[in-house]
């Protein structure tokens, strides 16, 4: 019986890719459930460097804001090479989201005030005006989603993530 099931499974055509709106919805839900992500930048030798971050929720265009201290290594790495990746893991929903794109440092005081969180007061005693407080704007160019709990890329044939790439102001499957 097991061999027959395996043969029938292997002979089935691969599932059709989920529609773009469903992939975006699963990506947002997975990112929110994860609450933290890894920001991955490249050092001078091209070696990826990962650090745990507490991002803001993605905006409608799937771009993400993060806060950091301007004295960190990641700030210099972004200045030298803006290519970056954000990686989220939702253990409960059995899923992950990877965003590939570019990071930009934002030192605009109005934006820093707008994105200030009172719980950061211990890290930045001067509040949003603190000289060490800096924002990172991550612009997403590619999204990869796999979520068993949200039924995106959860078929046993291949276990390939659903992929979206930016096209103008929208998204398309490659």
CATH number at 81 reads 2.30.110.10
Q: Which of 3-7, 22-26, 131-135, 154-158 has the lowest mean pLDDT?
A: 3-7
Instruction: Provide the pLDDT confidence category of residue 5 given band limits of 50, 70 and 90.
Output: very low
Residue 78 within any structural domain of the chain: yes
- Read off the pLDDT of residues 77-121 as tens digits, 9 standing for 90 and up: 999 999 999 999 998 888 999 999 999 999 999 999 999 999 999
Residue 82 within any structural domain of the chain: yes
Residue 124 within any structural domain of the chain: yes
Residue 62 within any structural domain of the chain: yes
Residue 57 within any structural domain of the chain: yes
Three-state secondary structure along the chain? CHHHHHHHHHHCCCCCCCCHHHHHHHHHHHHHHHCCEEEEEECCCCCEEEEEECCCCCCCCCCEEEEEECCCHHHHHHHHCCEEEEEEEECCCCEEEEEEEEEEEECCHHHHHHCCCHHHCCCCCCHHHCCCEEEEEEEEEEEEEEECCCCECCCCCCCCCEEEEEECCEEECC
- Asked whether residue 166 carries a pLDDT value surpassing 80, the answer given is yes
What was the pLDDT predicted at 7? 43
- Asked whether residue 4 carries a pLDDT value surpassing 80, the answer given is no
How far is 83 from 117, CA to CA, in rounded Å?
A: 26
Residue 136 within any structural domain of the chain: yes
* Pair 77, 42: CB distance under 8 Å: yes
pTM of the predicted protein model: 0.86
Residue 59 within any structural domain of the chain: yes
**Mean local confidence (pLDDT), 30-41:** 96
**Mean local confidence (pLDDT), 151-166:** 80
Which residue did the predictor score with more confidence, 155 or 140? 140
Q: How many domains does the chain have?
A: 1
- Asked whether residue 8 carries a pLDDT value surpassing 50, the answer given is no
For the beta carbon of residue 56, count every other beta carbon within 10 angstroms.
14
Extract the tokens encoding 104: 């930009």
Residue 10 within any structural domain of the chain: no
């Amino acid at each position: 019986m097991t061999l027959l099931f395996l043969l029938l499974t292997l002979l089935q055509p691969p599932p059709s890719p989920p529609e773009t709106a469903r992939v975006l919805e699963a990506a947002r839900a997975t990112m929110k459930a994860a609450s933290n992500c890894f920001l991955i930048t490249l050092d001078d030798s091209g070696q990826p460097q990962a650090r745990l971050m507490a991002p803001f929720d993605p905006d409608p265009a799937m771009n993400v804001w993060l806060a950091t201290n301007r004295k960190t290594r990641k700030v210099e790495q972004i200045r030298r090479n803006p290519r970056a990746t954000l990686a989220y893991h939702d253990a409960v929903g059995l899923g992950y989201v990877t965003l590939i794109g570019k990071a930009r440092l934002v030192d605009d005081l109005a934006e820093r005030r707008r994105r200030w969180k009172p719980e950061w007061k211990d890290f930045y005693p001067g509040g949003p005006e603190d000289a060490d407080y800096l924002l990172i704007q991550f612009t997403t160019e590619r999204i990869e989603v796999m979520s068993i709990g949200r039924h995106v890329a959860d078929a046993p044939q291949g276990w390939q993530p659903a992929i979206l790439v930016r096209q103008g102001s929208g998204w398309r499957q490659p």
